[in-house]
Amino acid sequence: MTQKRAKVAVVGSLNMDVVVKAKRPPEMGETVMGEAVHFIPGGKGANQAVAAARLGAQTLMIGAVGDDPFGQSLLESLQKSGVDSRGVKTVSGVATGIASILLAEGDNSIVVVAGANGRCLPEDVEAGRELLSEADILLLQLEIPLETVLTAARTAKELGKRVVLNPAPARELPDELYRLTDVITPNRSELGLLTGRPVEEEGLEAAMRELLDRGVGCVVTTLGARGAACLSPEGGFRRVEGIPVEVVDTTGAGDAFNAALACGLSEGMDLPAAVDFAGRTAALAVTRLGAQDGMPQRKEVEAFTKRLNGG
């Protein structure tokens, strides 16, 4: 039997990641010498689009870049991975989004300047309605204006599509957005921020249940090296173990996870199977430097799965 090809739409951000490696982060007011700097295509939306395309999904993106060299190279990065970028507009006189990323002591810290992402507007979603109708699942994050996210979710539901919301970076959300969301995917700290509840092991399930009560279809919480947890009315609460790997760079791990989750669901996997597939994709992504540069191809995830199964 041939597997159904996933059809994924992403409405979200594109950033140029300026990645600096240093032995340790500076204290406030201190200067430290870095070891290397890399300019790597990023942005949660674009990362998710690239990851989905590399996993074999027919993928389209709606977003905005500035009319500068960074904008041009972000568009090229999408196209190189096979993402349909017709929905990404170029805004004159505005800088492309930038993420300043410090890699130190095995972790990262990120400051994002939205730039052109702030110009990704509800009218762009309306103009892209026909494009959106080609997909069967919509992936959203929170690095573009909230009104645009809401319009995209409404449009997707009107078109009968499923909506996956990655609530990153976390912020307070309108009730309507919860009700429009089929799968919400906070990490542990985003879950804490959204619910105001304790999210350590004992509190985790109750916090996730709170999001179900607000109207989402199901909740998937990513837990870094500890794997993930999912909660749905049909399947209840389940933990999925993390996969031990040699970590090089965790930037974009959540994006790899979300893209794979959307692909898996669009291909017809059930929630636990899609979460499992997402965990394997994210585990591979963290073994490489850079957000988009680190996104694995489908055949690499399949080979990794074979190795995990002792094949």
- Cβ at position 25, least distance to ligand RIB in Å: 17
Residues 63/14, Cβ–Cβ less than 8 Å: yes
167 vs 217, beta carbon nearer ligand RIB: 167
Q: How far is CA 100 from CA 20, 51, 83, 97, 121, in A?
A: 8, 21, 24, 10, 24
187 vs 266, beta carbon nearer ligand RIB: 187
Given the residues 136, 182, 249, 255, the one annotated as active site: 255
Question: Beta strand 162-165 with 84-91: parallel, antiparallel or unpaired?
Answer: unpaired
- Cβ at position 192, least distance to ligand RIB in Å: 18
- Cβ at position 109, least distance to ligand RIB in Å: 11
Binding site for ligand RIB (CB under 6 A): 15, 17, 42-44, 47, 99, 110, 112, 143, 251-252, 254-255, 291
The answer to whether 255 is a known catalytic residue is yes
Residue nearest to ligand RIB (CB): 42
15 vs 58, beta carbon nearer ligand RIB: 15
- Cβ at position 143, least distance to ligand RIB in Å: 6
The amino acid at 26:
P
22 vs 212, beta carbon nearer ligand RIB: 22
Active-site residues, by number, are 255
